[in-house]
Structure formats: C-alpha cells, structure tokens
Amino acid sequence: MAASFYIARQRSIIFVMDTKMMIKAAFLELLEERPLSQITVKDIVSQCGINRNSFYYHYADLPSLVEDVITEEADKIMAKYETFDTIEQCLDAVIEFSLSHRKAALHLFNSNSQDVFVHYFMQISDSVIRRYFDELCKDRDIDPEDKEIVIHFYKCLVFGQAVDWMRNGMTNDLQHQFRRFCEFNKGSIAEMIDRLTAQ
C-alpha cells in the first residue's frame, strides 16, 4: 500500500514538472512567432494542450512566467560554465540565450518585461566576469577592493555591449567585433593583474 502510494505520488510530481516544462516550451515557441503583447494565457494553454487551471497552478500570471523563464535560462548558463579562459568567452555566455532564441529574446527585450531581461544580462555578466577574474587572480596577492573595481569595470563592459546589441536589434556581429576589440587590447588584462599583484 505504501509503495503504491509512493509511486502514485512520484508520478504526480513528474506530471506537474512536465506540465511546467510544457508551459515554458510553448511560451518560447509563441515568443519566436510574435511579440509578448500578442501572447495570452489562452494561447499558451492551447499550444500545449492543457487547461487554464493547469497554467494558474504554476503561474499567477504571464509576467511571473516570463520571470521564471529568464531566471531558469540564467541558472542554466551559470551552471554550464565553471570557469572562463578569455573575456570573449564571458561575452559568449552572456548572449547565449539571445543567439539561441533570437526572435524570442528581441520580443522580450522590446516588451514591458525589458527590465527583467536587462536584470538577466546584469546577473549573467556579474557571474561570468567574477569567475573569469577569480581564476586569473588565483594565487595572486591582490587587494580585494582593487579586484572588485576591476570586476565592476569588465562586468559593465560586457553588460553594456550586450544591451546595446539588443537595442540595435542584434543586427551587428557582436562576437566578431568584441573579438577584434580584444585583439587590439591584447595583453592588457594580464599586465593589469601583474601591476595589481606588484602593489
């Protein structure tokens, strides 16, 4: 009896998780097709073949779904990378979602949920730059305050590039341009770390 109850409970949990995943997948599919302002809860439940009650069991409204999708994407990217070898890899991680879901990303960025999307960029930028400099500064005697100044500067550099790219409709090849910039600036980060260590 206890075993059958446990199995039934596990199946129920899996169903609930699957439903949530279906809702998010359906939402992203619709977002690839049309702006956020043209997507309704009715559209989402119709797309994934569930009823409205199932949607509202997981989400209070559409904005809470948007926030969950963006937060999940940020968590996925931060879990995917342990360290970064170059500043270019940091930028690649920040714009990974936008490159994989170009239309959906633009529709989110150009919607009332832009602030959530911009917060996502800042969160990812801070995480990847921090990991990059943690690795670079490992075993170096650097003042923590100086290190934070450097992290803040490069976080803002990557964040600003990503946001400006989105504002311009992702029309330019940001990765190529950023790599060219890093070529022009080659060696400057290593030299800066050396100077900070020598102080």
Has residue 2 got a pLDDT over 70?
no
Report residue 37 as tokens: 């302002």
35-56 burial code (b ≥16 CB/10 A, e <16): ebeebebeebbebbebeeebbe
pLDDT at 94 over 70: yes
| 62-83 pLDDT per residue, tens | 999 999 999 888 888 888 887 8
Q: CA triplet 110, 63, 95: central angle to 5 degrees?
A: 45
In the structure, what pLDDT confidence band is assigned to residue 17 with cuts at 50, 70 and 90? low
- The whole-angstrom distance between residue 135's C-alpha and the CA centroid of its chain comes to 21
Domain 1-59 in CATH 1.10.10.60? The answer is yes
- For residues 23 and 7, the model is more confident at 23
The contacts found for 184-188 with CB under 8 angstroms, 24 or more apart, are none
Burial class (CB in 10 A: 0-12, 13-18, 19+), 182: middle
User: What are the distances in angstroms from CA 27 to CA 94, 126, 196?
Assistant: 21, 27, 47
Residue 1 has pLDDT above 70, yes or no: no
CA distance 149 to 135: 16
Asked if the model's pLDDT at residue 8 lies above 50, the reply is no
Collapse the DSSP code of 169 into the 3-class scheme (helix H, G, I; strand E, B; otherwise coil) and give the result.
coil
For residue 87, is pLDDT > 70? Answer: yes
* 142: amino acid identity, one letter: I
CA 16 to chain centre: 24
| Per-residue model confidence (pLDDT) at position 36 | 93
135's tokens:
């690795």
pLDDT tops 50 at residue 10: no
DSSP string, 172-196: S-HHHHHHHHHHHTTTHHHHHHHHH
Which one, of 69, 82, 71, lies nearest residue 30 by Cα? 69
Burial group, residue 192, by CB count within 10 angstroms (0-12, 13-18, 19+) = middle
Residue 186, both tokens: 């080659």
Domains of the chain, residue spans: 1-59, 62-198
Question: What is the pLDDT at residue 182?
Answer: 92
**Residue 180 CA from chain centroid, whole number:** 24
Higher pLDDT, 11 or 122: 122
104-115 residue pLDDT tens: 999 999 999 999
State the pTM of this model. Answer: 0.83
Across the range 159-170, mean pLDDT stands at 96
Res 11 pLDDT > 60:
no
